[in-house]
Amino acid sequence: MLQRLQLCAHSTQRPQLQQQQQQQQQQQQRQQQQQRQQQQQQQSSMIARQKSPSTAHVVAAAAAVVVAAAAAAIAAAALTPRQGSSGAAAAARPTAGRAAATAAAAAAAAAAAAATAAAAAAAAAAAAAALEARVTDSFPLSL
């Protein structure tokens, strides 16, 4: 009689234990799936950020173009002969006009480089602010 009662009690507890185990397994599977999805999202966003050029890279490339153009202008001003003269001797003679043109081109190049540096700094600050906002949106603090 006692054995029958134990068997009855054991048989009624078995489905409950199985159900609990199944629920725990399902919950663990859901958590693992959520973690995988989060990791995939993070990886895809990192890859997207690495592939697309940042604002700072674009500004740096523009600065390189401006500096190259300024260097070309300086070289052209230095090699241009003054009016009324011809030949290598006239091109080789330094003149006040050429020196002023060279100085003006150098000043323009310096101004362009300073403006580019300022734009790069502003772009970096904007990118940092955007990244901070994105992180704050992704991981809000809950108290």
pLDDT tens for residues 5-28?
565 555 566 667 777 778 888 888
What is the domain count for the chain?
1
Residue 35: its pLDDT value, please? 82
Residues of the chain where predicted confidence (pLDDT) is lower than 50: none
- Whether 94 is in a domain gets the answer yes
Q: What is the pLDDT at residue 25?
A: 83
Nearest to 115 by CA among 52, 54, 70, 53: 70
The answer to whether residue 35 sits within a structural domain is no
What domain range is 77 assigned to? 57-121
Nearest 5°: the CA angle 74, 76, 79 is 110
Cα 40 to Cα 66, 100, 132: the distances in Å are: 40, 60, 20
pLDDT of residue 102: 72
pTM beyond 0.75: the answer is no
Integer Cα distance of 90 and 99 in angstroms: 14
Indicate whether 107 belongs to any domain: yes
Q: Note whether residue 77 is domain-resident.
A: yes
> Which class for 62: exposed (0-12), middle (13-18), buried (19 or more C-beta within 10 A)?
middle
The neighbour count for residue 78, using CB atoms within 10 Å, is 14
